Amino acid sequence: MKEWWIKFGKSFYYAGRGIMTGFRERNMIIHCLMAVIVIIMGWIFSLSLMEWSIVLILIGLVIFAELVNTSIEELANVVKKNNNCEYGETKATRDLAAGAVLVVAIVSVIVGLIIFLPKIF
């Protein structure tokens, strides 16, 4: 049983290490800065509990998508290197992952406008 708890604890350590690796990426830093701005705006405009829930879910989704995108790019780098591939052979995979982040980010902006514009005007 003790071994189970040790493995369980290590899984959090490894996950935290993965998140920290993701935060070294330029786009992740940009997403996090935008999240901080949105959280400050939410506090200024006194969002309702439902609005906070939506905003926080969307922030989490954008960060999640960026972490998945980064992991796919890292994996594509390994595949490219180990198989002596050209960049073009992994391009579609990279583009698909980046496109997923873009879709989530665009939807988040649209929902953010729906939430914040009535409060601003």
Contact (Cβ atoms closer than 8 angstroms) between residue 37 and residue 50: no
- Average pLDDT score over the chain: 95
Contact (Cβ atoms closer than 8 angstroms) between residue 72 and residue 97: yes
Q: Which residue type does 20 have?
A: M
Summarised one tens digit per residue, pLDDT across range 30-77 is 999 999 999 999 999 999 999 999 999 999 999 999 999 999 999 999
Q: Please, what is the Cα angle at 116 between 111 and 121, to 5 degrees? A: 135
| Confidence grade of residue 16 (pLDDT, cut at 50, 70, 90) | very high
Can you give the pLDDT at residue 91? 95
Q: Where in the chain are the domains?
A: 2-120
CA distance 32 to 22: 11
Q: What percent of the chain has pLDDT over 90?
A: 91
The residue ranking higher by pLDDT, 91 or 121, is 91
CA distance 78 to 101: 21
**CATH number of the 2-120 domain:** 1.10.287.3610
| Confidence grade of residue 2 (pLDDT, cut at 50, 70, 90) | confident
3-class SS letters over 58-109 = HHHHHHHHHHHHHHHHHHHHHHHHHCCCCCHHHHHHHHHHHHHHHHHHHHHH
Contact (Cβ atoms closer than 8 angstroms) between residue 61 and residue 108: yes
Q: Which residue has the tokens 């998140």?
A: 19
Q: Is the model's pLDDT at 1 over the cut of 80?
A: no
